Amino acid sequence: MSESLTRLLDGCRNGHSLPGGLYRDPEVYEKEIRAIFLKSWLCVGHQSQIPQRGDYFLFEMAGESVIIVRESEDRINALLNVCRHRGSRLCDTATGHESRLVCRYHGWTYGLDGSLRAASRMSDGFDRSLYGLHRLQLRVFAGLIFINFDPSPVPFDPIENDLAAPLAPYQLDRAKVAHRQNYPIASNWKLAVENYCECYHCAPAHPEYSVGHGRAIPGDELATLLAPVMARAAAAGLTEESYVRNSWLAAGALGTDRGYKRYALLRGHKTGSRDGSPLAPFLGTIKDYDGGATDLHFGPMMFGLAYCDHVVLYRFTPRGPRNTDCEITWLVNGSAAEGKDYDLAELTWLWDVTTVADKQIIERNQAGVDSRFYRPGPLSPMEEFTGLFLQWYVATMRAAG
């Protein structure tokens, strides 16, 4: 560990924001990529994005590019987008379809499993079997595609074991992507996650969200509001699971963070819409609006919000020490038709307006912590989950050595 990172970590206090250097130092950032992002399970998309053999999309993070390609009906592969000859990128476009992956530099040709099938005019002793594309670990759960850059990754099963039951009624494997939108944020990734993890800012900053969502309400009152929601759960077709939270330090192993946490909607809102009225057909086997919503957490950088009629996923992806992408994916019932069963502008309204506001908030935060006179400040009890994230961060970086 470099001397400056050690010194910065030594300056961290529980229950406080981090020292400023941790939000900008390029060496700290590179260490984070290696210690956290290249070792965690990362949710990169939904299987419905690549329905046909040969369909692919790219996942790009911190200078890495990965081709997520369907090889067959029941097999999806994650292949490093780097030719084994002289290192050219194979695919340029965010999505596409290829029956084989051909490098446009020298024509080296790979199968959809990454194996090298053709490389013209190499020396006689050249053994193609040694030059397949670098393949990453991949798991599909609830229709979501997870990858891990680590060849000996932490187990994925804890995520699946904990979340399979509560997510079952949503049948996310039969959902479809209604829309994806990227919001580039000019900030360090941790400021974006800190923002996502607390609702202390919801009342002052997000009136559109706060009017209908009970997450910003302190503990005791929240429990009172949640009780009638849980009483309606079974009738609505949901499980009686209200809380699965093995995230941050509780996850046990790095990058296996997972969470499912119910809370009440307010003022009769049924879902995350402009006025609380329904937006789309029910997901999966859900039969009714139960008056609740559910926070989701899959791995360290993918969060979500499940309503009865749609799911919103938030993925934070580091692009540099001061640049982070927040990509939002809206999932609806796979058989719903746009324009008929749902209106896309209405479906995406709440989380677009909220994320545009958060982008500005987070960028203002980065500008402030860049001051030489900024000192870490104390968290409110309402920022408990952000506090846990920061504790996890410090412990993880220390453990990485």
Residues forming contacts to a second copy in the complex (CB under 8 A) are 17, 20, 33-34, 38, 63-65, 80-89, 92, 104-107, 119-123, 126, 131, 134, 149, 194, 200-201, 203-205, 218, 361, 364-365, 367-382
Minimum gap (Å) between residue 221 Cβ and a second copy: 12
Judged by beta carbon, residue 32 or residue 194, the one nearer a second copy is: 194
Minimum gap (Å) between residue 131 Cβ and a second copy: 7
Minimum gap (Å) between residue 381 Cβ and a second copy: 6
Rounded CA separation 215/226 (Å)? 11
Q: What letter represents residue 44's amino acid?
A: V
3-state secondary structure string across the chain = CCHHHHHHHHCCCCCECCCHHHHCCHHHHHHHHHHHHCCCCEEEEEHHHCCCCCEEEEEEECCEEEEEEEEECCEEEEEECCCCCCCCCCCCCCEEECCCEECCCCCCEECCCCCEEECCCCCCCCCHHHCCCCEEEEEEECCEEEEECCCCCCCCHHHHHHHHHHHHHHCHHHEEEEEEEEEEECCCHHHHHHHHCCCCCHHHHCHHHHCCEHHHCCHHHHHHHHHHHHHHHHHHCCCCCCEEEECHHHHCCCCCCEEEEEEEECCCCCCCCCCCCCCCCCCCCCCCCCCEEEEEEECCCEEEEECCCCEEEEEEEEEECCEEEEEEEEEEECCCCECCCECHHHHHHHHHHHHHHHHHHHHHHHHHHCCCCCCCCECCHHHHHHHHHHHHHHHHHHHHC
Rounded CA separation 79/111 (Å)? 11
Judged by beta carbon, residue 134 or residue 179, the one nearer a second copy is: 134
Minimum gap (Å) between residue 177 Cβ and a second copy: 26
Minimum gap (Å) between residue 371 Cβ and a second copy: 5
Judged by beta carbon, residue 34 or residue 100, the one nearer a second copy is: 34
Minimum gap (Å) between residue 225 Cβ and a second copy: 17
Judged by beta carbon, residue 122 or residue 236, the one nearer a second copy is: 122
Minimum gap (Å) between residue 186 Cβ and a second copy: 13
Judged by beta carbon, residue 44 or residue 80, the one nearer a second copy is: 80
Judged by beta carbon, residue 81 or residue 333, the one nearer a second copy is: 81
Rounded CA separation 326/317 (Å)? 7
Minimum gap (Å) between residue 207 Cβ and a second copy: 12
Residue 22: name the closest of 378, 366, 380, 383 by CA. 366
Name the phi and psi angles at 46, rounded to 5: -120, 145
Judged by beta carbon, residue 287 or residue 319, the one nearer a second copy is: 319
Minimum gap (Å) between residue 163 Cβ and a second copy: 29
With tokens 């000859």, the residue in question is: 85
Minimum gap (Å) between residue 359 Cβ and a second copy: 13
Dig out the tokens for 243 from the structure.
Answer: 């809380």
Judged by beta carbon, residue 206 or residue 262, the one nearer a second copy is: 206
Judged by beta carbon, residue 131 or residue 349, the one nearer a second copy is: 131
Judged by beta carbon, residue 339 or residue 377, the one nearer a second copy is: 377
